[in-house]
Structure formats: structure tokens, C-alpha cells
Amino acid sequence: MDYASVIASPVGTITILADDEFVHVITFAEKDITGLSENELTVKVANQLNDYFKGDLKDFDFPIKQKGTEFQQEVWQNLLTIPFGETTSYAKFSAHNPLAIRAIAAANGKNNIAIVVPCHRVIGSNGKLVGYAGGLWRKQWLLQHEREIAQKGQTELKF
């Protein structure tokens, strides 16, 4: 990663790491970005994230690429299909391969592109919020934010 941008958000500081072509990391975790400057791509991502937090943007349109196994890549691609303002359970998300539910959950947890690859939209089968590397309070905030913007969806599954 050659470039970085940092933004303040309602859910804390967010660091964006990219090269000339792709965004590789969007994280709440502290990162040492000493010596890194912004580029056109990290500024675009920062602007889109700010628009997301203002409620003006639902879909991101910048190139992403994170390191991972073929299986992880498949899981992350599947996360991108969960509609804005909606949630799905881990069981439903892994219905195509129910024996891999733990591996799918683990891959979900290794997602390095927070918010944009919406791992926060996957909740427990019982409707409870579970497992989010950024903290459950952030997951709750993001789901509530999206639900209010979309005026649909829910943060817990109702049976």
C-alpha cells in the first residue's frame, strides 16, 4: 500500500489504504501510515464514505482488492450481494454450503474492507447481532443507519 487517507466518522476513525489501482483496506483499527500520503483513489473513498455517513450514498463505486484465499474471495463477493438496509443470517448466507458455515463466518471476519464489503449485514440465525471485528456497537450503528436511510430492513431477524 502506497497511499492512505484517514477520516473521522460517527463510528470512529477510519483508515483507507490503497495503491494506484485498488483499495486494499478500510479499517477502524489503528494503522501506522507514517510516510504515506493521499492519492486520488483514497480521497474518492473518503468522500464516498462521508457521503454514506450523511445518508447520501448507498453504493460504492471504486475498485477494491484484498488478499485472501479463493474461498475467502468468494465469501467477500457474496457479501456484496446483500442489499443496502437489509440483513441476512449466517445460516441463510451459507445455505448453499451449510457444512461450511464456520469457515464462511471466519472468512467474513477476515474482511479487510469494512462497510464497503458489508460483513456487518450478516447477523446470527436467532436474529441477534454477533461477530463484528469493529465491535458490535459499530455493527448496530451501521445497520440502524442503513435501515433509516433505506426505510426498510431490520437489525434483527423477526420470526
Mark whether 26 and 84 lie in a shared domain.
Answer: no
Mark whether 75 and 12 lie in a shared domain.
Answer: no
The closest of 105, 115, 99, 104 to 71, measured between CA atoms, is 104
> Does pLDDT of 71 surpass 80?
yes
The answer to whether position 61 is within a domain reads: no
Mark whether 94 and 126 lie in a shared domain.
Answer: yes
Mark whether 74 and 131 lie in a shared domain.
Answer: yes
Instruction: Report the CATH number at residue 123.
Output: 1.10.10.10
In terms of residue numbers, what domain contains 46?
Answer: 3-54
Helices (H), ranges, the chain: 40-54, 70-79, 90-93, 101-109, 136-150
86-126 residue pLDDT tens: 999 888 888 888 778 889 889 999 999 999 999 999 998 88
d(CA 14, CA 49): 9
Q: How many domains does the chain have?
A: 2
Mark whether 87 and 20 lie in a shared domain.
Answer: no
From residue 84, give the alpha-carbon distance in Å to each of 31, 33, 121, 122: 28, 30, 8, 12
121-147 residue pLDDT tens: 999 888 888 888 899 999 999 999 999
Q: What is the mean pLDDT of the chain?
A: 91
Percent of the residues in the chain that have a pLDDT greater than 90, as a whole number: 77
Catalytic (active-site) positions: 119
Name the band, by pLDDT with cuts 50, 70 and 90, for residue 159. Answer: very low
- Cβ atoms of 38 and 78 closer than 8 Å: no
16-47 residue pLDDT tens: 999 999 999 999 999 999 999 999 999 999 99
Mark whether 76 and 37 lie in a shared domain.
Answer: no
